Amino acid sequence: MTRPAQFKFRLYVAGDAQNSALALANLTAFSRAHLKDRHEIEIVDVFREPKRALADGIFMTPTLIKLAPVPVRRIVGTLSQTQPMLQALGLEVRPQ
């Protein structure tokens, strides 16, 4: 199960809004559990960098973008459900 692929995430949050805080916590926990030592997370606050949000087409917060490995994927929401996360990231199709 060792994969060389390095995961690059960008998480768009809306300041310290509840949904955004939840998403960040969920993402951190998820990465620690499934992608230990092979991920990096960039956090973009849409209030601080709204132009970036506009350019990237981020309209719903929180939004997670998986930049690497390809394909690029977008996940909207608090990331509270693990199973859809795993599927979306192509990590696990079948639970063991």
Residues that bind other proteins (CB under 8 A): 12, 14-15, 17, 19-20, 22-23, 26, 46-47, 50-51, 53-54, 57-63, 73-81, 84-85, 88
Smallest distance from the beta carbon of 36 to other proteins, in angstroms?
20
Q: Give the residue with the Cβ less far from other proteins, 39 or 61.
A: 61
Q: Give the residue with the Cβ less far from other proteins, 54 or 68.
A: 54
Q: Give the residue with the Cβ less far from other proteins, 5 or 60.
A: 60
Smallest distance from the beta carbon of 2 to other proteins, in angstroms?
25
Q: Give the residue with the Cβ less far from other proteins, 16 or 40.
A: 16
Q: Please say whether the beta carbons of 89 and 73 come within 8 A.
A: yes
Here the tokens at position 91 are 């990590």
> Does the bond joining 4 to the residue before it have cis omega, within 30 degrees of 0?
no
Distance CA 18, CA 87 (A): 25
Give the number of other Cβ atoms within 10 Å of residue 82's Cβ. Answer: 15
Residue with tokens 């030592």: 37
